[in-house]
Amino acid sequence: MQQDPQVIRQAIGQALQESLSLQGGKNADYIPFLAQVPSHLSAVAVVTAEGAVYQAGDSSYPFAIESISKVSTLALALEEAGPAAIKEKIGADPTGLPFNSVIALELHSGKPLSPLVNAGAMSAVSLLKANDAEQRWQRILHLQQQMAGSALALSEEVNQSEQSTNFHNRGIAWLLYSAGYMYCDPMEACEVYTRQCSVLINTTQLATFAATLAARGMNPLTRQQVLRKDNVPCILAEMTMEGMYGASGDWAYSVGLPAKSGVGGGVIAVVPGVMGIAAFSPPLDNEGNSVRAQAMVASVASQLGYSLYR
Ligand code: GLU
């Protein structure tokens, strides 16, 4: 479907303007690096399934991908194990609890329920076939780059900041292991998961990542089919159920698009067959979702009239 470029330009410009007056939220501070990213940064971008790119604000500022990386690792795990095994070995349900909740595990006999919370994401990392941590990591980075359509790199600074403070995730990795939901060495899975979160990406690259899902697994800029087409609906379903953590239900109700956020301040949303939308701004609300990025994505979707449920 072709959209009028002028209408998209106007929509992202207005979304950015509206967001600048939003003052709420606070940078994530449990990862020391994230606490010092300038809070005023704001960006929004759209990449269409045909490959047209629109951007506004600080769209070339690189920030930590964090949990949005869970989407591409889920895609890899799906390619390897298939949808039925992912549902059984990780899950396809919302947790209704915070992204790093131990209670969520306790309530379900140690099953993570979703590959888009920390527990399920570490399980997904552990499911990938690899001889060692380096190979596991390279597979993950490769797909992130294919979806973003650009070379991406690990930030040593973010990685160091996260690896030296990720005790809670290490605890979760051992709980998964004891419950039978960890499929490689738990500390290897946690270490590689932490690296995958520490990759730097900018808002335009993130919109391309989302557009790859919108274009049924084909990156619309490189024209490469980088995901198995048949798995894309499963990825979008997982995003709908858990992509915005505890706010996923509210988001489905009010915006109606599969989405994923990260504590680095990024948010992506997918309009299947049409476009990927991405936004970035560091301050987060109590659920761990960027205040301004959510508002920008919601504004673009509403101005352009996109919701799955319309
Ligand atoms: N690296 C972060 C963590 O594991 C990612 C969390 C997020 O973005 O939601 O806590």
Q: Give the pLDDT score at 3.
A: 79
Mean of pLDDT values over 4-24: 96
262 lines ligand 1 (CB under 6 A): yes
Gap from CA of 5 to ligand 1 centroid (Å): 35
Mean of pLDDT values over 93-108: 94
Mean of pLDDT values over 193-221: 98
Mean of pLDDT values over 141-150: 98
Q: Which atom of ligand 1 is nearest to the CA of 68?
A: 8
pLDDT tens across 18-46, in order? 999 998 999 999 999 999 999 999 999 99
Residue to probe by mutation, ligand 1, list 30, 63, 67, most atoms within 8 Å of CB? 67
Closest CA to 76 of 131, 133, 147: 147
Mean of pLDDT values over 286-306: 97
Gap from CA of 268 to ligand 1 centroid (Å): 15
Q: Give the pLDDT score at 2.
A: 61
Q: Give the pLDDT score at 93.
A: 96
Closest CA to 221 of 40, 89, 11, 55: 55
Q: Give the pLDDT score at 309.
A: 94
pLDDT tens across 51-80, in order? 999 999 999 999 999 999 999 999 999 999
Residue to probe by mutation, ligand 1, list 27, 99, 198, most atoms within 8 Å of CB? 99
Mean pLDDT for all residues in the chain: 97
Closest CA to 47 of 59, 64, 58, 65: 59
114 lines ligand 1 (CB under 6 A): no
Q: Give the pLDDT score at 310.
A: 87
66 lines ligand 1 (CB under 6 A): yes
Q: Is the pLDDT of residue 1 over 80?
A: no
In this structure, are residues 296 and 55 in contact, taking their beta carbons and an 8 Å threshold? Answer: no
Mean of pLDDT values over 272-300: 97
197 lines ligand 1 (CB under 6 A): yes
212 lines ligand 1 (CB under 6 A): no
CA 118 to chain CA centroid, nearest Å: 12
pTM over 0.85: yes
Mean of pLDDT values over 82-107: 96
Q: Give the pLDDT score at 133.
A: 98
Gap from CA of 291 to ligand 1 centroid (Å): 16
pLDDT tens across 107-132, in order? 999 999 999 999 999 999 999 999 99
Gap from CA of 181 to ligand 1 centroid (Å): 19
100 lines ligand 1 (CB under 6 A): yes
Q: Give the pLDDT score at 69.
A: 98
